[in-house]
Amino acid sequence: MNNFTIGMTYLSGHIPIAIIYAISVFWAKYKGELECSDFFIWLSIFYLFISSAAGYYIYKAYSDQLEDLQKGNGGTRYIIKPTQIKNLFTSDAMNYYILPLAAFAASDDLVKTSLILLVLTIIYGISFIRERMNLYTPFLILFGFVLFSCEIQDEDNSNKHEITILTKDPQKLVFGHSYKAVLQKLNNTTSLAIIQYDD
Protein backbone atom coordinates (compact mmCIF):
# COMPACT_ATOMS: atom_id res chain seq x y z
CA MET A 1 0.00 0.00 0.00
CA ASN A 2 1.68 3.22 -1.13
CA ASN A 3 1.70 6.58 0.67
CA PHE A 4 -0.65 8.17 -1.86
CA THR A 5 -3.36 5.58 -1.17
CA ILE A 6 -2.89 5.92 2.60
CA GLY A 7 -3.18 9.70 2.24
CA MET A 8 -6.39 9.26 0.25
CA THR A 9 -7.71 6.99 3.00
CA TYR A 10 -7.04 9.72 5.57
CA LEU A 11 -8.67 12.47 3.48
CA SER A 12 -11.75 10.32 2.80
CA GLY A 13 -12.49 10.45 6.53
CA HIS A 14 -12.64 14.26 6.32
CA ILE A 15 -15.87 14.32 4.27
CA PRO A 16 -18.12 15.09 7.31
CA ILE A 17 -15.71 17.82 8.51
CA ALA A 18 -15.59 19.32 4.99
CA ILE A 19 -19.40 19.37 4.82
CA ILE A 20 -19.65 21.14 8.21
CA TYR A 21 -16.94 23.59 7.19
CA ALA A 22 -18.72 24.41 3.91
CA ILE A 23 -22.04 24.94 5.71
CA SER A 24 -20.31 27.26 8.22
CA VAL A 25 -18.71 29.30 5.43
CA PHE A 26 -21.93 29.71 3.45
CA TRP A 27 -23.88 30.52 6.64
CA ALA A 28 -21.34 33.19 7.61
CA LYS A 29 -21.59 34.67 4.10
CA TYR A 30 -25.39 34.63 4.27
CA LYS A 31 -25.29 36.50 7.60
CA GLY A 32 -22.76 39.00 6.21
CA GLU A 33 -20.11 38.06 8.78
CA LEU A 34 -17.46 36.83 6.36
CA GLU A 35 -14.53 38.88 5.11
CA CYS A 36 -12.73 37.70 1.95
CA SER A 37 -15.81 35.58 1.33
CA ASP A 38 -14.76 34.41 -2.16
CA PHE A 39 -11.52 32.94 -0.77
CA PHE A 40 -13.28 30.97 1.98
CA ILE A 41 -16.05 29.82 -0.33
CA TRP A 42 -13.52 28.41 -2.81
CA LEU A 43 -11.49 26.94 0.06
CA SER A 44 -14.56 25.13 1.41
CA ILE A 45 -15.47 23.86 -2.08
CA PHE A 46 -11.90 22.64 -2.61
CA TYR A 47 -11.85 20.91 0.80
CA LEU A 48 -15.16 19.18 0.10
CA PHE A 49 -14.06 18.22 -3.41
CA ILE A 50 -10.68 16.80 -2.36
CA SER A 51 -12.13 14.75 0.53
CA SER A 52 -14.99 13.46 -1.67
CA ALA A 53 -12.54 12.61 -4.48
CA ALA A 54 -10.38 10.75 -1.94
CA GLY A 55 -13.43 8.80 -0.78
CA TYR A 56 -14.34 7.87 -4.35
CA TYR A 57 -10.73 6.84 -5.06
CA ILE A 58 -10.59 4.52 -2.01
CA TYR A 59 -13.99 2.98 -2.72
CA LYS A 60 -13.12 2.41 -6.39
CA ALA A 61 -9.66 1.00 -5.61
CA TYR A 62 -10.97 -1.64 -3.20
CA SER A 63 -14.10 -2.40 -5.23
CA ASP A 64 -12.06 -2.88 -8.43
CA GLN A 65 -9.64 -5.20 -6.65
CA LEU A 66 -12.55 -7.26 -5.29
CA GLU A 67 -14.10 -7.41 -8.76
CA ASP A 68 -10.80 -8.64 -10.24
CA LEU A 69 -10.57 -11.34 -7.58
CA GLN A 70 -14.18 -12.34 -8.29
CA LYS A 71 -13.28 -12.76 -11.98
CA GLY A 72 -10.25 -14.87 -11.12
CA ASN A 73 -7.67 -12.21 -11.93
CA GLY A 74 -4.90 -12.47 -9.34
CA GLY A 75 -5.01 -13.51 -5.72
CA THR A 76 -4.13 -16.74 -3.95
CA ARG A 77 -6.55 -19.43 -2.79
CA TYR A 78 -6.70 -20.27 0.91
CA ILE A 79 -8.96 -21.88 3.48
CA ILE A 80 -9.99 -19.24 6.04
CA LYS A 81 -11.60 -19.51 9.45
CA PRO A 82 -12.91 -16.12 10.73
CA THR A 83 -12.27 -15.61 14.44
CA GLN A 84 -13.07 -12.00 15.37
CA ILE A 85 -14.49 -8.76 13.93
CA LYS A 86 -12.00 -5.90 14.05
CA ASN A 87 -12.83 -2.20 14.23
CA LEU A 88 -12.28 -0.25 11.02
CA PHE A 89 -12.56 2.89 13.13
CA THR A 90 -10.57 2.35 16.34
CA SER A 91 -10.27 4.82 19.20
CA ASP A 92 -6.73 5.62 18.05
CA ALA A 93 -7.94 6.31 14.51
CA MET A 94 -10.79 8.50 15.81
CA ASN A 95 -8.25 10.99 17.17
CA TYR A 96 -7.12 11.77 13.63
CA TYR A 97 -10.62 13.06 12.84
CA ILE A 98 -12.12 14.07 16.20
CA LEU A 99 -9.31 16.45 17.21
CA PRO A 100 -9.48 18.56 13.99
CA LEU A 101 -13.28 18.60 14.31
CA ALA A 102 -13.08 19.63 17.98
CA ALA A 103 -10.60 22.41 17.18
CA PHE A 104 -12.88 23.54 14.38
CA ALA A 105 -15.95 23.57 16.63
CA ALA A 106 -14.18 25.43 19.45
CA SER A 107 -13.77 28.72 17.59
CA ASP A 108 -16.28 31.24 16.21
CA ASP A 109 -13.59 32.98 14.16
CA LEU A 110 -13.62 31.43 10.68
CA VAL A 111 -10.10 32.63 9.84
CA LYS A 112 -8.66 31.09 13.01
CA THR A 113 -10.75 27.96 12.50
CA SER A 114 -9.49 27.54 8.93
CA LEU A 115 -5.89 27.93 10.04
CA ILE A 116 -6.29 25.41 12.89
CA LEU A 117 -8.04 22.96 10.58
CA LEU A 118 -5.32 23.28 7.93
CA VAL A 119 -2.44 22.80 10.40
CA LEU A 120 -4.05 19.83 12.17
CA THR A 121 -5.03 18.17 8.89
CA ILE A 122 -1.43 18.37 7.64
CA ILE A 123 0.15 17.21 10.93
CA TYR A 124 -2.27 14.33 11.46
CA GLY A 125 -2.13 13.41 7.78
CA ILE A 126 1.65 13.00 7.92
CA SER A 127 1.34 10.96 11.12
CA PHE A 128 -1.44 8.82 9.60
CA ILE A 129 0.78 8.00 6.60
CA ARG A 130 3.87 7.28 8.70
CA GLU A 131 1.92 4.91 10.93
CA ARG A 132 0.53 3.26 7.76
CA MET A 133 -3.09 3.30 8.95
CA ASN A 134 -4.36 2.53 5.46
CA LEU A 135 -7.66 0.92 6.51
CA TYR A 136 -8.77 3.15 9.35
CA THR A 137 -11.42 5.43 7.91
CA PRO A 138 -15.15 5.66 8.67
CA PHE A 139 -15.73 5.94 4.93
CA LEU A 140 -15.17 2.20 4.35
CA ILE A 141 -17.75 1.31 7.00
CA LEU A 142 -20.44 3.31 5.17
CA PHE A 143 -19.99 1.17 2.07
CA GLY A 144 -20.19 -2.20 3.76
CA PHE A 145 -16.53 -3.08 4.18
CA VAL A 146 -15.71 -5.29 7.17
CA LEU A 147 -12.35 -6.08 8.75
CA PHE A 148 -11.85 -9.29 10.71
CA SER A 149 -9.15 -11.61 12.03
CA CYS A 150 -8.99 -15.12 10.70
CA GLU A 151 -6.86 -18.21 10.60
CA ILE A 152 -5.75 -19.10 7.09
CA GLN A 153 -4.08 -22.13 5.60
CA ASP A 154 -3.20 -23.37 2.13
CA GLU A 155 -5.75 -25.56 0.38
CA ASP A 156 -3.64 -28.61 1.21
CA ASN A 157 -4.13 -27.81 4.94
CA SER A 158 -0.55 -26.66 5.47
CA ASN A 159 1.08 -23.40 6.60
CA LYS A 160 -1.61 -22.25 9.08
CA HIS A 161 -1.30 -18.69 10.45
CA GLU A 162 -3.46 -15.68 11.41
CA ILE A 163 -4.01 -12.51 9.38
CA THR A 164 -6.52 -9.68 9.05
CA ILE A 165 -8.96 -9.71 6.12
CA LEU A 166 -10.93 -6.87 4.52
CA THR A 167 -14.02 -7.83 2.54
CA LYS A 168 -17.35 -6.32 1.52
CA ASP A 169 -20.84 -7.28 2.75
CA PRO A 170 -19.99 -10.66 4.35
CA GLN A 171 -23.62 -11.28 5.29
CA LYS A 172 -23.42 -15.10 5.27
CA LEU A 173 -20.22 -15.26 7.31
CA VAL A 174 -20.30 -17.51 10.39
CA PHE A 175 -17.40 -17.18 12.81
CA GLY A 176 -15.61 -20.43 13.54
CA HIS A 177 -16.70 -21.91 10.18
CA SER A 178 -14.15 -22.59 7.41
CA TYR A 179 -14.50 -21.11 3.92
CA LYS A 180 -12.59 -21.13 0.68
CA ALA A 181 -11.37 -17.64 -0.20
CA VAL A 182 -9.22 -15.78 -2.69
CA LEU A 183 -6.85 -13.32 -1.01
CA GLN A 184 -4.93 -10.35 -2.38
CA LYS A 185 -2.26 -8.97 -0.07
CA LEU A 186 -2.65 -5.28 0.94
CA ASN A 187 0.26 -5.17 3.39
CA ASN A 188 2.22 -7.55 5.63
CA THR A 189 -0.72 -8.25 7.94
CA THR A 190 -3.85 -7.58 5.87
CA SER A 191 -5.39 -9.03 2.72
CA LEU A 192 -8.43 -8.20 0.61
CA ALA A 193 -10.70 -11.26 0.27
CA ILE A 194 -13.44 -12.77 -1.84
CA ILE A 195 -15.14 -15.44 0.25
CA GLN A 196 -16.80 -18.44 -1.37
CA TYR A 197 -19.84 -19.36 0.71
CA ASP A 198 -21.40 -22.80 0.94
CA ASP A 199 -24.81 -22.90 -0.75
- Could you give the CA distance from residue 78 to residue 153 in angstroms, rounded to a whole number? 6
What's the predicted TM-score (pTM) here?
0.79
Highest mean pLDDT among 80-94, 101-115, 134-148: 134-148
- Give 16-49 pLDDT, tens digit per residue: 888 888 888 888 888 877 777 788 889 999 999 9
Highest mean pLDDT among 39-43, 168-172, 174-178: 39-43
- Residue with the bigger pLDDT between 154 and 42: it is 42
Using alpha carbons, select from 199, 193, 150 the residue that is nearest to residue 170: 193
- pLDDT value, residue 47: 92
- Could you give the CA distance from residue 13 to residue 101 in angstroms, rounded to a whole number? 11
- Could you give the CA distance from residue 64 to residue 60 in angstroms, rounded to a whole number? 6
